[in-house]
Amino acid sequence: MNTQNPAAKNSLLTPFNVTVGIIFLLGALITFLRFTKGLAGVTNLSDNNPWGVWISFDLMCGVALAAGGYTTSAACYVFGLKRYHSAVRPAILTAFLGYALVVFALHYDVGRPWRLPYPIFVQSGTTSVLFEVGLCVFLYLITLFVEWTPAALEWLGFRKYRNIIVKGTLALTIFGVVLSTMHQSSLGALYLIAPSKLHPLWYSSYIPLFFFISSIAAGLSMVIFEGTLSHHFLHHKMDRTYQSEHNEVVLGFSKGAAMVLACYFLLKLVGVALDNKWHYLLTGYGAWFLVELLGFVALPCFLYAITVREKNLKLAKYASILTVLGIVLNRFNVSWFAFNWQLPAADRYFPSWMEIAISIYIVTIGVLFFRFISTKMPIFYEHPEYREHAPHEGEEEEGPEFTEHKLHKHPQTFGH
């Protein structure tokens, strides 16, 4: 990647490249500090607040927002909604990159990163929810990698291997759904062990269920949101099938998201009602809880419903942004804002700028990989030799998209 040295050539001094250059420079610097001065050198973590924004954002949000992978592939391959076929590859790619970056980010956070395989290969603490999370994330990362390889193999022209993997699609998808169900819910279940530290409005024995259901909403919304983003920036890479199916995907997923969010909303209320926590709603935390529930669950649910009724695709975009923000807010609340709520303000956690910079750095790496892969490999279009859809009329020889993959000798400029 030639972005590392933005000053090398004048033509490379685009705002995008300069920003990326600065982020990478800072990232490298802080990485150095992290591994020479320890966590104390770069983070605001403390004995009271052992988990900071690297867990709240990189792990909790990263995994939730990568849920598009299993929701989309399940919708398409298991539930037979074939018309979502073109949304699967971008979603799988996002999920794969998402999980890879989650694991990458953990290397900063844990004390001895080279021991990360220990729970699986050296000594397993099977009573730990974190063990379940680790095992599932590990297996799912492999699954996603395999699910993604057909795109790479098509790009490289390895037809035989590609066909073998494609035959296993259903099995892979089901395996992925099982693993996702487990670890999405387990991320919530991590907090079951700390009823004395997490605010009662967020602590609930239903928290695994909340995390799982909200991950579906997050996954659907991320597909919608990313779709609109990619439409903006990668339009020329998309084939007719993708583009013509795109609107259907948006409407279908909006309908799904509306229902999932409605279900989630009701369950959250049940959670409050079951343990009779209504009185907490009158406190400051209660107001904050209501902001999350009304503003970021009920409202997007409503917007999605209107989207479907009026076939208003613009609205779907806003609804998806709200939902995604809502999931981020929820994960932040559970792992950060409402955690250790009883500690005096002075003992509470706030991230250092370096922690935030590393998170931005990691997201940037993800965006660059996504761009690279989706411009080189058949992600938004079907490889002409492996097409499942009957080509639309007159499309056969048209457009650059079907020859694009042969042009990979391109100078790999990320900034235009």
Partner 1 sequence: MLRRTFLGLLGAAGLGAALGKPAHAAGAQHFQGYPGSFGVLFDSTRCIGCRSCEAGCNKVNELPPPPEPFDDLSVLNTKRRTHAWTYTVVNRYDNIPGAAGPVYKKWQCNHCLEPACASSCFVRAFTKTPQGAVTWDGTVCVGCRYCMIACPFEIPTFEYSEPLTPRIMKCTLCYPQITSGKLKVPGCVGACPVEALVYGKRSDLIKIARERFHTFPGRYLNQIYGEHEMGGTNWLYISGVPFSALGMREDLGVTPAPELTSGALATVPIVAAAWPVLLTGIYAINKRKDKIARQEEAQAVARAVAQAQAEAGAKLKKAMTKAEAEQKAAIEREVKRALEEAVKGQSQEGE
> Degrees (nearest 5) of the Cα angle 29, 62, 4?
30
Distance between CA atoms of 158 and 301, rounded to whole angstroms? 44
Closer residue to partner 1 (CB): 118 or 353: 118
Q: How far is CA 319 from CA 37, 296, 325, in A?
A: 43, 9, 10
Per CB under 8 A, 178 contacts partner 1: yes
Candidates 13, 146, 165, 192; binder of partner 1 (CB under 8 A) is 192
Binding mask 7-46 for partner 1 (x = CB under 8 A): ---------------------------xxxxxxxx-x-xx
User: Contacts with partner 1 in 238-257 (CB under 8 A)?
Assistant: 252, 255-256
* Least distance to partner 1, CB of residue 355, Å: 13
Binding residue for partner 1, selected from 104, 145, 158, 206, defined by CB under 8 A: 206
Q: Look up residue 17 and give its two tokens.
A: 């490249």
Candidates 151, 177, 297, 334: give the one binding partner 1 (CB under 8 A): 177
Contacts to partner 1 from residues 261-290, by CB under 8 A: 263
* Residues 254, 224 contacting (CB under 8 angstroms): yes
By CB under 8 A, which span of 76-84, 226-234, 303-311, 408-416 interacts with partner 1? 76-84
In contact, 86 and 246? CB cutoff 8 Å: yes
- Paired with 339 in beta bridges are 198
Count of residues that interact with partner 1, criterion CB under 8 A: 74
Query: What torsion do the CA atoms of 216, 221, 223, 224 make, to the nearest 10 degrees?
Result: 150
Q: Closer to partner 1 by CB, 116 or 156: give it.
A: 116
**Closest CB to partner 1 among 113 and 157?**
113
Taking the C-alpha atoms of residue 55 and residue 47, their distance in angstroms, rounded to an integer, is: 15
Q: Which is nearer to partner 1, 294 or 343 (CB)?
A: 343
Residue 198 DSSP SS3: strand
d(CA 192, CA 207): 8
Residues of this chain, 327-366, that bind partner 1 according to CB under 8 A: none
Residue 75 Cβ vs partner 1, minimum distance, rounded to whole Å: 8
Nearer to partner 1, 259 or 281 (CB): 259
Q: How far is the CB of 94 from partner 1 (least distance, A)?
A: 21
CB-wise, 39 or 93, nearer to partner 1?
39
- The three-point CA angle 134-139-143 to 5° equals 145
Minimum Å gap between C-beta 203 and partner 1 is 10
155-174: which residues touch partner 1 (CB under 8 A)? Answer: 170, 173-174
Q: Which is nearer to partner 1, 174 or 356 (CB)?
A: 174
DSSP string, 128-195: -HHHHHHHHHHHHHHHHHHHHHHHHHHHHT-HHHHHHHHHTHHHHHHHHHHHHHHHHHHHHHGGGG-T
Within 91-150, which residues bind partner 1 (CB under 8 A)?
109-112, 115-116, 118-119, 122-125, 127-132, 134
Look-up of token digits 């792992």: 335
Separation CA 61–CA 328 (nearest Å): 6
72 binds partner 1 (CB under 8 A): no
Distance CA 291, CA 326 (A): 10
- The smaller minimum CB distance to partner 1, of residues 178 and 234, is found at 178
Q: Which residues pair with 198 in a beta bridge?
A: 339
Beta strands in 256-345 (DSSP E): none
Residue 403 as a binder of partner 1 (CB under 8 A): the answer is no
Closest contact distance (angstroms) between CB of 400 and partner 1 is 34
* Residues from 208 through 237 that contact partner 1 (CB under 8 A): 208-209, 212-213, 216
